[in-house]
Chain A
């Protein structure tokens, strides 16, 4: 009960307290409401913010990973591209080097070859020198030719003049015009006159033609018209020849006074052969100084001299035994006819002598001076 009494005592206080509490609460309600609202709003905000930041963080992680992935991919690509470009630059530089060398070589060899040009210029200089020399030589040669021709023409003219003025030659009695006695030497013309033969006088063509009965046109302009540039005048019309097979007088005269020109066959005398042989023999006898005869075989010096048979030779001459006739003869069989003359006997009949005897008179050429021993046996000629 005490508690109740206490509580009843307290009721008023409690009521008052309650009432004041309510009043305070009521008074502070606004404030406290606002404060509560503030707290709540802050908390809510914080919650959301925390959630948002959580979300942000997660989103950042995702983005970070994704971006890193993409960037690495791009980086790889870029690296590849840069590498490629680096390589290409290198290749370009190297190819420029190659092209440079090639172009330099090509231009120097084919487009403007300094050494070829220099060689060409040197060759051209040599060629020019050559041409200059050739031209100088040629013009010299031509000049000499022309001088020669001019000189020849002069000579020709002077010779013709000398021929026509041959009467001006000086004689023994009277010196000519060109051979002045007061000068030490005769003039050149005088010498020329002496050298040349006189020209036989020719009748003028006019007279000759009129003699032959042709009247030439007496106008001189026809000569100027009728003659073409540089052409000769027409030849005169020939005279009538006498009828008959007569030769020209000049021909006959020439034939008559022709000198004898015998042919070689006619020129040689008929005994020419014998004379020649004699001459040859005389020469042989005259010139032969060596007495040993020529032995044609090389071992001739070793050959023993042919030894005659004792039967047929003596100290001076062979004995006429057994070398004349070796054939059997039967005169009975001939029945009174003459025996046949044999060639061997004819041979034996020739008059043989040694080569060392005096020269013979005209004799048969078939003598054999080679075998002196055989000749001695036939001293008599029949």
Chain B
């Protein structure tokens, strides 16, 4: 046979391999094919092709493997069990950039499913190889490596620590400064995943100088980048006061408030999350946020959005109000209470209602002025209803009761307390009656109103154990009124009057 015919055989084989690998890669993009492919044993066929001499076939087979592993964790486990990872890790260091991208893609697809798989990736030395590829020139390679690192670090603190120990953080911070937007996004998301587990990790991220670069990207027009940036900043600032202060020192206020009007929903949610994490630490930080008008912006945001994304905003208002009564008054003055009342009535999910109820408790518990502002929004009957409703979750009931108690202990606005007299259970009723007994002895108009609105009647109908605190309060209320009135309103008065008729002997008794 001539040389050319011999070579032709080889060419045919190469073409066949190329075609196979490309078709498999294309088929793997569609989820319905993957089951069939798996049953046909594609893993064992793709594995030797990873070692093929032709680089295109190597790259395409790595890509196909990545797509398969991406789909579900059984396949990812099969990739791990098939000892493919060490080969990939080795070639990450050696091959050209297309192969590196594909290999990083496979590592990412494997690591994203569970911590054990991510640990497997780490165990075969994937971290060092990925960190080395972070130093490449090609932005696509950097992006793939950063993505893989982010997915590894996402699962738990132990893995994040491993990623940090491999020296990834300074390189990720360098990646953030690159001009390509996609690379910035992925690097920001990876930093966010690293910093979220513990304060030490967040401190490592901050020490690499991430905050300055992240804060420069706040006003970038790309929405997905902004999502990741705000998420990263909030993960950093949530751990401790120092970290939150460092984030604030990067002069994010008031430019952050502009992003509260971004068309993208998740950007807005992440901004409110960041504000919540900042305000929850100390009164000074909350004061800073309030002074820049952050509270008003968040209240407007609550008015515009629906559903679960309201939660961070509500919690932020609660945290701000919790620190001091000045700040609670600032929330009231910024028209927060009507907005929260709207949220309470509109939302159906229990955890959001619980957060709103908690926020109300924090606002109203400081002084009678605050309690009056909360009561004026007709919130107290709603809180009572939530407490009494058997459908509410336990958490919601506990929070409603706590909020109700703390507001009632300061509430002196009697018209708002009256509806509660009729419906409240005894443990709440005790507080209501106590408030009445505190206010009524001093205010004559209130006494008159109390009688005419039927409150006194209701109080007489309350059955309390003799010697209990409730009875004492009822007595002190009764002492504010003349005896005839108290007797008039006591239950069964008409019967006693009728009995007197029976006993009465008329004076001119002409006995027959």
Contacts and interface: CB of A to CB of B under 8 A. Distances in A.
A124 interface: yes
Interface string A324-338: 000000000000000
Contact of B18 (A127, A136, A146, A219): A219
B403 interface: no
Interface centre among A121, A135, A219, A221 (most CB of B within 10 A): A221
A40 B143 CA distance: 144
Given A142-B261, A225-B102, A228-B139, A131 B59 contact: no
B476 interface: no
Query: Binding site of B, secondary structure by majority: helix, strand, loop or mixed?
Result: helix
Interface in B136-185: 138-140, 143, 180, 182
Interface of A: 117, 120-121, 124-125, 127-132, 135-136, 138-139, 142-143, 146, 217, 219-222, 224-226, 228-231
B25 A128 contact: no
B56 interface: yes
Contacts of A230: 180, 182
Nearest to B296: A128
Nearest to A231: B140
Contact of A124 (B138, B254, B290): B290
Given A135-B300, A229-B143, A231-B140, 15 more contacts: A120-B326, A124-B333, A125-B334, A131-B254, A132-B300, A135-B260, A217-B56, A219-B18, A219-B22, A219-B56, A222-B56, A222-B60, A225-B101, A225-B102, A230-B180
Contacts of A130: 293
Contacts of A224: 63
Contacts of A146: 263
30 contacts: A117-B329, A120-B326, A121-B329, A124-B290, A124-B333, A127-B292, A127-B296, A128-B293, A128-B334, A131-B296, A131-B297, A132-B296, A135-B260, A135-B261, A135-B297, A135-B300, A136-B261, A138-B258, A138-B261, A139-B261, A142-B261, A219-B56, A220-B22, A221-B25, A225-B60, A226-B98, A228-B101, A228-B140, A229-B139, A229-B182
A225 B26 CA distance: 12
Per CB-CB distance, the 3 closest pairs between chain A and chain B, nearest first, are: A131-B293, A228-B140, A128-B296
Interface string B426-442: 00000000000000000
A135 B304 CA distance: 13
Nearest to B181: A230
B141 to A, nearest CB: 8
Contacts of A132: 293, 296-297, 300
Contacts of A142: 261, 263
Interface residues of B, number: 38
Nearest to B63: A225
B22 A221 contact: yes
A135 B254 CA distance: 11
Contacts of A120: 326
Nearest to B22: A221
B87 interface: no
Contact of A225 (B59, B291, B296): B59
Contacts of B25: 221
Interface of B: 18, 21-22, 25-26, 56, 59-60, 63, 97-98, 101-102, 138-140, 143, 180, 182, 254, 257-258, 260-261, 263, 290-293, 295-297, 300, 326, 329-330, 333-334
Contacts of A225: 56, 59-60, 63, 98, 101-102
Nearest to A123: B291
A128 B295 contact: yes
Contacts of B97: 228
A231 B191 CA distance: 25
A117 B324 CA distance: 13
Contacts of B21: 221
Contact of B293 (A117, A127, A139): A127
Given A131-B296, A217-B56, A121 B180 contact: no
A228 B295 contact: no
Contacts of B140: 228-229, 231
Contacts of B261: 135-136, 138-139, 142
A124 B334 contact: yes
Contacts of A117: 326, 329
A117 B93 CA distance: 64
A217 B98 CA distance: 15
A359 B202 CA distance: 100
Given A121-B330, A128-B295, A221-B22, A135 B258 contact: yes
Contacts of A222: 56, 59-60
B95 to A, nearest CB: 12
A278 B305 CA distance: 84
Contacts of A127: 291-293, 296
B393 to A, nearest CB: 34
A121 B300 contact: no
A131 B257 contact: yes
Contacts of B292: 127, 131
Nearest to A126: B293
Contacts of A138: 258, 261
Contacts of B258: 135, 138
A125 B290 CA distance: 11
B22 A125 contact: no
Nearest to B299: A128
A146 B223 CA distance: 13
A143 B63 CA distance: 40
A221 to B, nearest CB: 4
A369 to B, nearest CB: 77
Contacts of A128: 293, 295-296, 334
Contacts of B291: 124, 127
A56 to B, nearest CB: 68
B253 to A, nearest CB: 11
A125 B293 CA distance: 9
Contacts of B98: 225-226
Contacts of A219: 18, 22, 56
Nearest to B258: A138
A124 B101 CA distance: 53
Interface centre among A128, A220, A224 (most CB of B within 10 A): A128
Interface centre among A131, A139, A222, A229 (most CB of B within 10 A): A131
A294 to B, nearest CB: 71
Nearest to B102: A225
A252 to B, nearest CB: 41
A117 B140 CA distance: 56
Contacts of B293: 127-128, 130-132
